[in-house]
């Protein structure tokens, strides 16, 4: 019997890891510079957290969640995103009373039962930031600024930030009705999902990717005309801050995002290098979410991006992550040589030098070939003679230069350039 991967879930092998590490380290570095604190939360949460938090009519909740009963029949779900969990964490730990203003970030796997394609997986990995407890429009600009700083740090170009405001819950109700009136006469020219959305939540029609619905969507009214004076003022201030900070954006009046918790500012960063799944990251305000989950009124804003897409974009742009090279490959042979080799490897590793050596008793020739293949910086052949005299030749592989050295650890570290 052989086992295959679960469809839409992937292994990440060592040769791809440098891109992942580059991306993960960039997120951590920008989080450090902007003073965000990391949180980690379970991969599994009560189903209701997502169905209430994300919204019963969203695609994520209606068709994409991995939901199962536990042994006591409680419904659990593999997290499809992080915002609802962060809101839950904020409530679980009483942060609303203790420290209501929070700047948090997270990284980790998420799960959605979507149709797999390039840049869209069933297990994918997100990085996200969330700022809780402040309504000021300057925070919207700061969160968008984080996204731009991350991309700049990674040297990614070809990007466009789409920005919109969908207003408060009253504005959204108004907008939903405007959309219902707009789409109703064309219901028979829409996909089956959109006919359902027309009844349940016409806002979701704007996220539809079906070919047949696109001409209709392109002509739909934008959300900005439905904004109340307060929400319109907030959006104007956000734009002013973005302008002051020199952060680029394009207004997209029909951007609503696919999750129901959003209020006011919404945005997405898209990449011209990614094809159909071109959204590198997306986010917005969710000023009602914490209250909806049973907490006090607490504004929130954040975004999340997929690492898979970030890695693809980096690769498309020809980015070459630094490859970690082995400092020293030891080639021991003979009994004495092998004994000395193992001891030397142990001592050098304790001093921070990366060392590998043959453990399969292969021939000298095979070991030297291995040293070449693994792109080691240096090679040291350690036979019985070297073990006895305590001296050997360290070869620098890039130049071919050989240097004679004592096998004393300090002397070796000097020769290795450390
Ligand atoms: P989202 O738009 O559902 O938002 O996902 C954010 C990002 O995660 C997407 O832009 C994409 O890069 C990545 N992503 C989503 N689904 C997949 C998938 N199936 N395969 C690969 N990548 C994927 C959220 O999740 C919100 N929680 C964002 C947020 C945070 N809003 C406020 N705070």
List the strands of the sheet with 391-396, edge to edge.
355-357, 328-332, 378-382, 391-396, 402-406
| pLDDT per residue of the chain (418 residues) written in tens, 0 to 9 | 689 999 999 999 999 999 999 999 999 999 999 999 999 999 999 999 999 999 998 899 999 999 999 999 999 999 999 999 999 999 999 999 999 999 999 999 999 999 999 999 999 999 999 999 999 999 999 999 999 999 999 999 999 999 999 999 999 999 999 999 999 999 999 999 999 999 989 999 998 888 999 999 999 999 999 999 999 999 999 999 999 999 999 999 999 999 999 999 999 999 998 888 899 999 999 999 999 999 999 999 999 999 999 999 999 999 999 888 999 999 998 999 999 999 999 999 999 999 999 988 889 899 989 888 888 999 999 999 999 999 999 999 999 999 999 999 999 999 998 6
282 CB within 6 A, ligand 1 = yes
Burial 227-256 (b: 16+ CB within 10 A, else e): beeebbebbeebbebbeeeebebeebebbb
Nearest to 258 by CA among 183, 203, 184: 203
Ligand 1 probe mutation, 81, 115, 166, most atoms within 8 A of CB? 81
Q: Please, are residues 159 and 269 in contact by the beta-carbon 8 Å criterion?
A: yes
Nearest to 175 by CA among 157, 201, 195, 197: 201
CA distance 202 to 57: 10
Q: Please, are residues 170 and 257 in contact by the beta-carbon 8 Å criterion?
A: no
Domain boundaries, the chain: 17-168+228-317, 326-415
- How many Cβ atoms sit within 10 Å of the Cβ of residue 339? 14
pLDDT for 1: 67
Ligand 1 atom nearest the C-alpha of 286 is 32
Distance 223 CA to ligand 1 centre (A): 22
CA 356 vs CA 14, 277, 370, 375: distances in Å: 16, 41, 11, 12
300 CB within 6 A, ligand 1 = no
- Give the CATH class of 17-168+228-317: alpha beta
HEC sequence for 282-296: EEEECCCHHHHCCCC
Give the distance, in angstroms, between the CA of residue 284 and the centroid of all CA atoms in the same chain.
16
306 CB within 6 A, ligand 1 = yes
207 CB within 6 A, ligand 1 = no
**Inter-residue long-range contacts of 282-285, CB under 8 Å, 24+ positions, other chains counted:** 282/257, 283/128, 283/143, 283/147, 284/166, 284/257, 285/140
Return the SS3 of 413.
helix
235 CB within 6 A, ligand 1 = no
- Burial (0-12, 13-18, 19+ Cβ within 10 Å), 257: buried
Ligand 1 atom nearest the C-alpha of 82 is 27
106 CB within 6 A, ligand 1 = no
Distance 280 CA to ligand 1 centre (A): 8
Ligand 1 atom nearest the C-alpha of 119 is 21
55 CB within 6 A, ligand 1 = no
CA distance 56 to 48: 10
Nearest to 211 by CA among 183, 195, 189: 189
- How many Cβ atoms sit within 10 Å of the Cβ of residue 98? 8
123 CB within 6 A, ligand 1 = no
What tokens were used for 7?
């469809």
pLDDT for 418: 62
Return the SS3 of 145.
helix
Helix (H) or strand (E) holding 97: helix 95-98
Ligand 1 probe mutation, 103, 125, 126, 261, most atoms within 8 A of CB? 126
80 CB within 6 A, ligand 1 = no
pLDDT for 17: 95
Ligand 1 probe mutation, 282, 302, 310, most atoms within 8 A of CB? 282
Helix (H) or strand (E) holding 107: strand 102-111
- DSSP letter assigned to residue 6: P
Ligand 1 atom nearest the C-alpha of 285 is 32
Distance 176 CA to ligand 1 centre (A): 23
CATH code for 326-415? Answer: 3.40.50.800
Alpha helices in 83-168 (DSSP H): 83-92, 95-98, 137-153
Distance 306 CA to ligand 1 centre (A): 6
């Amino acid at each position: 019997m052989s086992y295959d991967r679960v469809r839409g879930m992937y292994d990440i092998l060592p040769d791809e890891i440098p891109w992942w590490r580059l991306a993960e380290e960039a997120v951590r570095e920008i989080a450090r510079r902007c003073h965000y604190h990391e949180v980690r939360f379970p991969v599994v949460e009560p189903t209701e957290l997502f169905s209430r938090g994300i919204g019963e009519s969203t695609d994520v909740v209606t068709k994409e969640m991995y939901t199962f009963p536990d042994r006591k029949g409680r419904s659990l779900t593999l997290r499809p995103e992080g915002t609802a969990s962060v809101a839950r964490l904020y409530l679980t730990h009483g942060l609303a009373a203790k420290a209501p203003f929070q700047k948090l970030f997270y990284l980790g796997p998420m799960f959605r039962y979507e149709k797999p394609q390039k840049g869209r997986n069933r297990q994918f990995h997100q990085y996200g930031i969330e700022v809780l407890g402040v309504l000021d429009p300057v925070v919207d600009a700061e969160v968008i600024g984080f996204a731009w700083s991350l991309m700049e740090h990674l040297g990614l170009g070809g990007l466009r930030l789409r920005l919109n405001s969908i207003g408060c819950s009253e504005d959204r109700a108004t907008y939903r009705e405007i959309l219902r009136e707009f789409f109703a006469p064309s219901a028979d020219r829409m996909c089956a999902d959109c006919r359902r959305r027309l009844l349940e939540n016409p806002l979701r029609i704007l996220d539809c990717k079906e070919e047949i619905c696109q001409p209709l969507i392109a002509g739909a009214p934008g959300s900005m005309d439905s904004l109340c004076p307060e929400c319109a003022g907030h959006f104007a201030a956000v734009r002013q801050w973005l302008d002051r900070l020199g952060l680029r954006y394009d207004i997209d009046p029909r951007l609503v995002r696919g999750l129901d918790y959003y209020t006011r500012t919404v945005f997405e960063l898209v990449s011209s290098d990614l094809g159909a799944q071109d959204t590198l990251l997306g986010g917005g305000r969710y000023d009602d979410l914490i209250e909806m989950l049973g907490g006090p009124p607490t504004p929130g804003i954040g975004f999340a991006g997929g690492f898979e897409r970030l890695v693809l974009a980096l690769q498309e742009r020809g980015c070459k992550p630094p490859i970690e090279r082995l400092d020293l490959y030891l080639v021991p042979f003979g009994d004495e040589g092998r004994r000395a080799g193992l001891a030397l490897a142990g001592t050098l590793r304790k001093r921070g030098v990366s060392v590998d050596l043959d453990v399969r008793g292969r021939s000298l020739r095979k070991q030297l070939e291995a040293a070449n293949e693994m792109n080691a910086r240096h090679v040291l052949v350690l036979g019985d003679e070297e073990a006895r005299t305590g001296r050997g030749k360290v070869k620098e592989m890039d130049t071919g230069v050989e240097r004679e050295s004592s096998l004393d650890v300090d002397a070796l570290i000097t020769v290795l350039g450390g």
